[in-house]
Structure 1
Amino acid sequence: MRTFLFSMLLGLFATTASAADPPTLHQYFDATGHADAWQGGVRMIPIHTPAGDFRVWTKRVGNNPRIKVLLLHGGPGATHEPFEVFDSFLPSDGVEYYYYDQLGSYYSDQPDDPRLLTIDRFVDEVEQVRQALHLDESNFYLLGHSWGGMLAMEYALKYPQHLKGLVISNMVSSIPAYNKYASEVLMPELDPAALAELKRLDAAKDYANPRFDALLQPHYEHHILRRPMAEWPEPVLRGFQRHINKKVYVPMQGPSELGASGLLVNWDRTSDLAKIPVPTLVIGARYDTMDPKFMEMMSKRLPKGEYLYCPNGSHMAYYDDQQVYFAGLLRFLHRVDDAGARTASTH
């Protein structure tokens, strides 16, 4: 009898332990049963909008039934490409993740219709993508960076029931607060003559003038990605220079990363953070264009929030403070997953 009970307990322990184990190498790269396998995980997903039906590009990497991360890129109008560095960190931890170009971005359809440039329309698009990828509350993590973080917050407020976890990467919950930080902290760092010339070009809306980007270069090298632009990673140059759709970026964000002046200028969800019920990681960085103290405050307003601070990072901390960024991200994903596995084993 004692042997029988011991065998039962051993079996129960093994079942519980295996529930939290990462997939094996074979399981992680096994494409059997995936409709996207014949084209390397890529799918063009149909999207219905008020301006007609279009398609958006997604690409799956790996298999993990409990941790599936959908990546929302910045911009708006940039691409998934800067996220390609995730290939260096997530597969070795067994995390399944999805690259995704939002409508209007380079790999997806690019309709030129201002009716599509609303937050609500983008949130609806994310929900259509979630449904097509069969992500649900048992496995669905949403990670949004910069504009993608804004979109992730909006999605979490509207569809919290579908989420297992949320990551807000390098984004504040208030554009007025972002602009205040830019005006009081970031702009004074610029050379006064350069700032005056930038303001003249801005007033004239002469954004195609090569001087506009040249004057902003020191700001970008200090607060966007802390390397000389000549050394910026090739995926970043593709996503934010060669492939950005300025017909989306400029109307929504404005002409530069030195504050926002487009359609998003009055957006503020700070008072609604308490309504996001899912485990949420907020990632900020010392040299970010977004105020790191504001992002820490956000984490405290979220019912299940926590804060990851990247002391050497800027707006793209997943490049210039990689070890801190990815160690914290993976720790969060696995902690939420382990908590879910323990809850499941008790039922």
Structure 2
Amino acid sequence: MSPPTITENFVDFDIPQAGKPCKTWYTIYGDLGTSKYPPLVVLHGGPGMPCNYLKPYGQLASKSLIPVVLYDSIGCGNSTLLPEKRGDGTFFNIDLHMNELDNLLKGLGIEDEFNLLGHSYGALLGAWYAATRKPQGLRRLILQSGPASLPLWDEAQMDLRYQLPKELQDILDQHEASNTTDSPEYKEVVAEFTRRHVCRIEPAPKELQETFDAAARDPTVVLTMYGDHEFETNGTLRGWSSINELDKINIPTLIMNGRYDTAQDKVMKPFFDRIPRVRWIQFSESSHTAHLEIERERVMEVVIEFLTEDV
């Protein structure tokens, strides 16, 4: 098939507390108006990690004619940046992101029929949105490599940390104790953890590096909501959980993770246990970004099958 049409633009997002006009940047793969399939809106991780690394999902528009919408949430990437709001948890929070999603859907005219795929924090957001807002237009939900609760996520990060060779664990412990986590030695151990559990492709794919670079240029949202610790949440999301709300999700739901994922099985099991209409696929050779790694084509096949069956 020929490459899909790609459209980029902004939708205005009125946030009185921002103190200035705000815009959400988005890109559409395919044509929202001609496909028989509902568009797939993709929620990025972080929070505050721009959507560059999710570009492979744009292939769905050519592989299956499913239109795909990617966007950068307020405070990161190509959307309005608000570095003056760093540390302000009354501004950067899950409600802001749900309101932004509502605004985007309405701005694109797709609120009456759409699907969601959330990756990492995007899965947390997507599940909470589906459970608490119960949008009438949401048809199917995909939760990829994200946590049902942040305490479970933190446990999983420490589990994986303790699987590192002892000498690497010692380096982490030493620099954290002396508050020298900006040292090259510490950063190299973190990079090794990333190679094992975030993306097992070397060098890192261009799309992922673009996301890392953009987040490094303006880490406002990451630092505010997730925090500044590599292996546990110490931002405003600390302690957050959706587990008690998950049984309210009444649409077909697919959960996905990788065998080597930072989103270990314990992180995702509540989705499987509590959501009534759910199935779980694990990719045996992948980590946190299976859609970028060696099983990326299988990921696309699984997503296409889920979104097009009985349609």
TM-score by length of 2: 0.88
Q: Which residue of 2 aligns with 1:151?
A: 125
Alpha-carbon distance in 2 for matches of 1:250, 1:208 = 15
Cα 1:103–1:242 shift into 2, 3 Å: closer
- Asked if 1:216 is matched to 2:216, the reply is no
SS at match of 1:43: strand
**Structure 2 spans left out of the alignment, 5+ residues:** none
Alpha-carbon distance in 2 for matches of 1:305, 1:256 = 32
> What is the 5 A alignment of 1:13-162?
29=5, 41-49=7-15, 50-52=17-19, 53-63=21-31, 64-112=35-83, 113=85, 114=88, 115-137=90-112, 139-160=113-134, 161-162=136-137
What per-residue deviation string (whole Å, max 9, x for no partner) do you get for residues 155-207 of structure 1? 11232223111111101201101111222x21111233432332343455544
Runs of 4+ in 1 over 4 A off after TM superposition: 203-207
SS at match of 2:210: helix
Q: Which residue of 2 aligns with 1:233?
A: 205
Alpha-carbon distance in 1 for matches of 2:270, 2:132 = 22
Question: Which amino acid is 1:55 matched to?
Answer: K
Q: Which residue of 1 aligns with 2:292?
A: 319
> Could you say what the CA RMSD is over the residues aligned between the two structures, in angstroms?
2.2
- Give the CA deviation at 1:256: 5.1
Alpha-carbon distance in 2 for matches of 1:307, 1:44 = 34
- Give the CA deviation at 1:227: 2.4
- Asked if 1:280 is matched to 2:257, the reply is no
Q: Which residue of 2 aligns with 1:16?
A: none
SS at match of 1:156: helix
Question: 1:281–1:299: 8 Å Cα contact kept in structure 2?
Answer: no
What per-residue deviation string (whole Å, max 9, x for no partner) do you get for residues 271-310 of structure 1? 2110111211111111101122542452242122111111
Cα 1:124–1:202 shift into 2, 3 Å: farther
Q: Which residue of 2 aligns with 1:3?
A: none
> What is the 5 A alignment of 1:192-271?
192-203=166-177, 205-228=179-202, 231-244=203-216, 245-255=218-228, 257-271=230-244
TM-score by length of 1: 0.80
- Give the CA deviation at 1:250: 2.0
Alpha-carbon distance in 2 for matches of 1:199, 1:241 = 26
Q: What is the number of equivalent residue pairs in this alignment?
A: 299
Structure in which a larger fraction of residues adopt helix:
1
Alpha-carbon distance in 1 for matches of 2:249, 2:212 = 30
Question: 2:60–2:68: 8 Å Cα contact kept in structure 1?
Answer: no
Which of residues 148, 154, 164 in structure 2 aligns to 1:173? 148
Question: 1:207–1:255: 8 Å Cα contact kept in structure 2?
Answer: no
Alpha-carbon distance in 2 for matches of 1:218, 1:233 = 16
What per-residue deviation string (whole Å, max 9, x for no partner) do you get for residues 96-127 of structure 1? 01110000112111012124211111111111
Cα 1:251–1:202 shift into 2, 3 Å: farther
SS at match of 1:164: strand
